[in-house]
Structure 1
Amino acid sequence: MLTRLRKTLCAAAVAGAAGGAAAAPMTLQDYLALSGPGPDRHIAYGSAPSQFVELFKPAGQGPFPVVILIHGGCWTVHFGGIAQMRNMAGALIRNGIAVWNVEYRRVDEEGGGYPGMYQDVAAAVDLLRQEAAGHQLDLARVVAVGHSAGGHLAQWAASRHRLATDSPAYRAAPLAIPQVISLGGLADLRKEEGLIKTSCDRAMVQLTGLPSAARPDVFSDTSPAELLPAGVRTVLVTGELDTVSPVRVAQDYARRARAAGDAADVVVLPNASHYDEVAASSPAWKLVYAEIRRALALP
């Protein structure tokens, strides 16, 4: 992993030197200003306003590989969300990759938090199986990509086949997701409780619910780290200058995943913040896009 990390840093540094001064790292306001094309379809999976997915389809004939895209925003409605992810979606469809852009009820929406937020993500992801044939989507080539809080939820979506059947978030026969790319994700809720509080101002109870006699460990069905090993390859991508989810977070999770027997890699984006990783206009996009293509086994 360290060798790959160093190679990534050096290659990007050389590219930056060849192209002149490096672009300034993106700010929260830059991220909130991101936009992209409208979706080809808006598909509801529930009656609440936030229970829907957006389908973006490339031109031409499929079957198309699919990115399941899950936005971040600190699990709250106040820091953007699905609209910003359209920036990535636009770049992906131009390159022949379909996008399943997931919206969900966040902690400050009615029915959000635990377990509603997790039930939403599960329902949205599993809906892809129902819609795939009609839209020429290739379920043999799927990767989940999540940013920040969405990194947590993308990793959880790929690991939820490990949930106990008595969990309120359990669904039988979930869609198999063999690979996840977590962009500045915060997926070890137990270990990162303090960081989540300082970075996102989230009390852990908002994400996990309260313990009960039947569920004494609130992390058991909410934290992907507790669901290891999941048989999933995880690529943890993080900005060198990320202060919301620092490089150390990705490294710690990768060590834990590998110790449990799962494959995990860390990619550090030079001179990048928490927001460059989701912007197709950012110099970091080339590295993020390369990981997506690798996960989908595209040349």
Structure 2
Amino acid sequence: MKALLTLLCLSFLVAVRATEPTFHRDIEYGQAGGEKLLLDVSVPTGEGPFPIAILVHGGGWGSGDKALVDGGAGIGIWFNALTDAKYTWFSINYRLAPKHRWPACLEDVLTAIRWVKANAAAYKGDPNRIALFGHSAGGHLVCLAATVVDDSARVQAVVGFAPVTNHEQELPIRGGVSTALQNLLNRQKEVTPESLGLLRAISPINHVRPGLPAFLLVHGDADKTVPIQQSYDFQAKLQANGVECELQVLPGAPHRLSEWEKAAPGYTARYMAWLDRQLRPEVPANQP
């Protein structure tokens, strides 16, 4: 009897493991500025190829980590949603300010996109079905990366979670250049013609044009860090240029990702339904 129970337990464990994704940690996708650029990847079970999501954490361009699950900027909720939906997902680290100034972080995101496209097959991913995810500063980076005129970094969809899309709009709120942007750009708080020009140059809203991938913006209307007006304005600019853009407003949600589900239960299902419509058009999607 004991032998039978042991066999049954082992069979159960094998069955469970067969349905679990494979996780690879700290894979090097490049080197820059004397640092190794690392990412984590989760690979679904099955033959694939599966749609891909590349995840870019927030943290004011100066903090955060690819594996940060908990806390205000924790992106663990993306991990669970994408794993359950059988996406191959890559969570990346990038060089942080003030040690590494602009454009190091954007260069790293672009390097990661190109690396993922070149290596997608090794992780059962489809290089022709890629979405970028980014929150806050990470949202800024993915929105800007998607505007690059270069097929080697082209993706099919972008999901910006409370993304910074207009640095100029923030100036009156911050009383000048924010501390985070001072560190990123090596500029003083006082706004000069040079710093204003730079802020405009790195704002995604100023790079919108026809032919960009589809965008989804998810933003809380109680966000005190990145005003939701930025997403309203960015959506309007995209749509005026014929680019698909949906804005999902989360009533009462602040800036911290960790508080969004409490403020807007079920919001994860809504953005995942949008993502499936973009990257799995052949599969009928349930409307949450």
Q: What interval of TM-score do these two structures reach, taking the shorter chain for normalisation?
A: 0.7 to 0.9
The CA distance in 1 between the partners of 2:58 and 2:122, in whole Å, is 28
Q: CA deviation at 1:117?
A: 1.4
The CA distance in 1 between the partners of 2:222 and 2:200, in whole Å, is 31
1:225 to 2:205 alignment: yes
Quote the residue 1:290 is aligned against. Answer: 273
RMSD: 3.2
2:154 to 160, 165, 176: 176
1:259-298 aligned at under 5 Å gives the runs 259-276=240-257, 283=265, 284-297=267-280, 298=283
CA deviation profile, 1:241-282 (whole Å, cap 9, x unmatched):
222223222101111222334232211123322234797787
The one-letter amino acid of 1:145's match is F
Query: In the alignment, is the contact (CA less than 8 A) between 1:207 and 1:222 conserved in 2?
Result: no
Quote the residue 1:5 is aligned against. Answer: none
Relative distance call for 1:188 and 1:82 in structure 2 (3 A) is: farther
1:58 to 2:48 alignment: no
Relative distance call for 1:209 and 1:39 in structure 2 (3 A) is: farther
Query: In the alignment, is the contact (CA less than 8 A) between 2:158 and 2:215 conserved in 1?
Result: yes
Relative distance call for 1:208 and 1:255 in structure 2 (3 A) is: farther
1:99 to 2:77 alignment: no
Relative distance call for 1:50 and 1:73 in structure 2 (3 A) is: farther
Task: Count the aligned residue pairs.
Answer: 246
CA deviation profile, 1:96-152 (whole Å, cap 9, x unmatched):
1111112101213x3x22121121111111111121122221122211111111110
**Secondary structure, counterpart of 1:42 in structure 2:** strand
Q: What is the percentage of aligned positions where both structures have the same residue?
A: 25
Query: In the alignment, is the contact (CA less than 8 A) between 1:279 and 1:285 conserved in 2?
Result: no
1:90 to 2:80 alignment: yes
1:138 to 2:120 alignment: no
Quote the residue 2:113 is aligned against. Answer: 125
The one-letter amino acid of 1:104's match is Y
The one-letter amino acid of 1:69's match is L
1:73 to 2:63 alignment: no
The one-letter amino acid of 1:292's match is L
Query: In the alignment, is the contact (CA less than 8 A) between 1:183 and 1:277 conserved in 2?
Result: no
CA deviation profile, 1:130-186 (whole Å, cap 9, x unmatched):
21122221122211111111110011111122xxxxxxxxxx643211321111000
Quote the residue 1:202 is aligned against. Answer: 179
**Secondary structure, counterpart of 1:107 in structure 2:** coil
Q: CA deviation at 1:194?
A: 4.3
Q: CA deviation at 1:221?
A: 4.9
Query: In the alignment, is the contact (CA less than 8 A) between 1:238 and 1:268 conserved in 2?
Result: yes
TM-score, normalization: structure 2? 0.73
Relative distance call for 1:193 and 1:61 in structure 2 (3 A) is: farther
**Runs of 5+ unmatched residues, structure 1:** 1-36, 162-171
**Secondary structure, counterpart of 2:31 in structure 1:** coil
The CA distance in 2 between the partners of 1:61 and 1:251, in whole Å, is 40
Query: In the alignment, is the contact (CA less than 8 A) between 2:60 and 2:180 conserved in 1?
Result: no
Query: In the alignment, is the contact (CA less than 8 A) between 2:56 and 2:92 conserved in 1?
Result: yes
The CA distance in 1 between the partners of 2:66 and 2:277, in whole Å, is 25
- Find the structure with the greater CA-based Rg: 2
Higher strand share: 2
Query: In the alignment, is the contact (CA less than 8 A) between 2:162 and 2:255 conserved in 1?
Result: yes
The one-letter amino acid of 2:246's match is D
Query: In the alignment, is the contact (CA less than 8 A) between 1:276 and 1:285 conserved in 2?
Result: no
Q: CA deviation at 1:239?
A: 1.4
Relative distance call for 1:265 and 1:95 in structure 2 (3 A) is: closer
The CA distance in 1 between the partners of 2:105 and 2:207, in whole Å, is 18
Relative distance call for 1:131 and 1:193 in structure 2 (3 A) is: farther
The CA distance in 2 between the partners of 1:194 and 1:49, in whole Å, is 36
TM-score, normalization: structure 1? 0.71
Relative distance call for 1:80 and 1:241 in structure 2 (3 A) is: farther
The CA distance in 2 between the partners of 1:38 and 1:63, in whole Å, is 14
